[in-house]
Amino acid sequence: MNKRELFAQIQEKKSFLCVGLDPVMENIPKHLLKYEDPILEFNKQLIDATKDLCVAYKPNTAFYESMGWKGWRTLTETWKYIPENIFTIADAKRGDIGNTSAMYAETFFNREKSEMGFDAVTVAPYMGEDSVGPFLNYKDKWVILLALTSNSGHKDFQVLETGGQKLYETVINTSSGWATADQLMYVVGATRAEEFKQVRKLAPDHFLLVPGVGAQGGSLADVCEYGLNDSCGLLVNSSRGIIYAGKGEDFAERAREEALKLQQEMEQILLSAELI
């Protein structure tokens, strides 16, 4: 899905919500345990309940990888279940020397080989251009580079001054020369709302993937104050706040209610910004 198509989806659904699919077996409602793959069933019901309210799904691969080969199967089947017109993000935070990155890229992008064809993968910038390049070789796919993350540890490196600017600013400045805003997004945490003005100075046209709303306490309104651009430019993620809104048989309805609250807030924001 290209940038124009993504914005068209946002306008049609009046939403820039990304639902994070981060399931943990201990939190799966008990009545689903009778299924052969309870987590897949959980994900399917969540997708059915939210697919008209969101424009993206973001499974974090750690939640699947931790279950070994069965987890990879669940991830693959979850990806296959997501409707084709919804943007899919493998939150895998990969990046290695070139030939290894090429294998990571195949894992998430090469449907013929791995049976998964995500639209985007999250990538760590630390190893530099040759580690990101193999992902960018897939011209119809997206790289979402970690810039300013939502966790408290962001301060250990990302805001340190290097050559007169913060490290995350260097990441954006340098990497924006590697690909256009049609192929590159940045992760910027909702908990870093005070930095969005600066991020937008450096990356005016890029989409930003924004985790940290919901369980981590970030504010959608604060993010949007400076985060929006003329293509919306934001995919705002909530995982636990949506998928664990309810713990019983009505978990999917409760998840829908939480997703709806965010979608309705997003609709008002898009209207105020005259983007719909």
Ligand X SMILES: O=c1ccn([C@@H]2O[C@H](COP(=O)(O)O)[C@@H](O)[C@H]2O)c(=O)[nH]1
Which positions are catalytic?
A: 93
Distance from C-alpha of 6 to C-alpha of 263, rounded to nearest angstrom: 16
With binding defined as CB under 6 A, does residue 189 bind ligand X?
yes
Closer residue to ligand X (CB): 150 or 231: 150
Closer residue to ligand X (CB): 98 or 217: 217
With binding defined as CB under 6 A, does residue 117 bind ligand X?
no
Residue list 7-26, contact with ligand X (CB under 6 A): 20, 22
Q: Which stretch binds ligand X (CB under 6 A): 101-109, 210-218, 228-236, 255-263?
A: 210-218
CA 127 from centroid of its chain's CA atoms: 21
How far, CA to CA in Å, does 3 sit from each of 72, 122, 172?
Answer: 28, 17, 19
Distance from C-alpha of 247 to C-alpha of 28, rounded to nearest angstrom: 7
* Shortest reach from residue 158's CB to ligand X, in Å: 10
Distance from C-alpha of 212 to C-alpha of 237, rounded to nearest angstrom: 7
Token readout for 131 is: 């580690």
* Shortest reach from residue 250's CB to ligand X, in Å: 20
**Mapping DSSP to helix (H, G, I), strand (E, B) and coil, where does residue 6 land?**
helix
With binding defined as CB under 6 A, does residue 214 bind ligand X?
yes
With binding defined as CB under 6 A, does residue 61 bind ligand X?
no
With binding defined as CB under 6 A, does residue 211 bind ligand X?
yes
Closer residue to ligand X (CB): 214 or 233: 214
* Shortest reach from residue 214's CB to ligand X, in Å: 5
235-265: burial string, b at 16+ Cβ within 10 Å, e else: bbbbbebbbbbbeeeebbebbbebbbbbbeb
Among 216, 226, 257, 260, binds ligand X (CB under 6 A): 216
Counting Cα atoms < 13 Å in the Cβ hemisphere of 34 gives 2
Residue list 232-271, contact with ligand X (CB under 6 A): 237-241
> Where do contacts with ligand X occur on this chain (CB under 6 A)?
20, 22, 60, 91, 149-151, 187, 189, 211-212, 214-216, 237-241
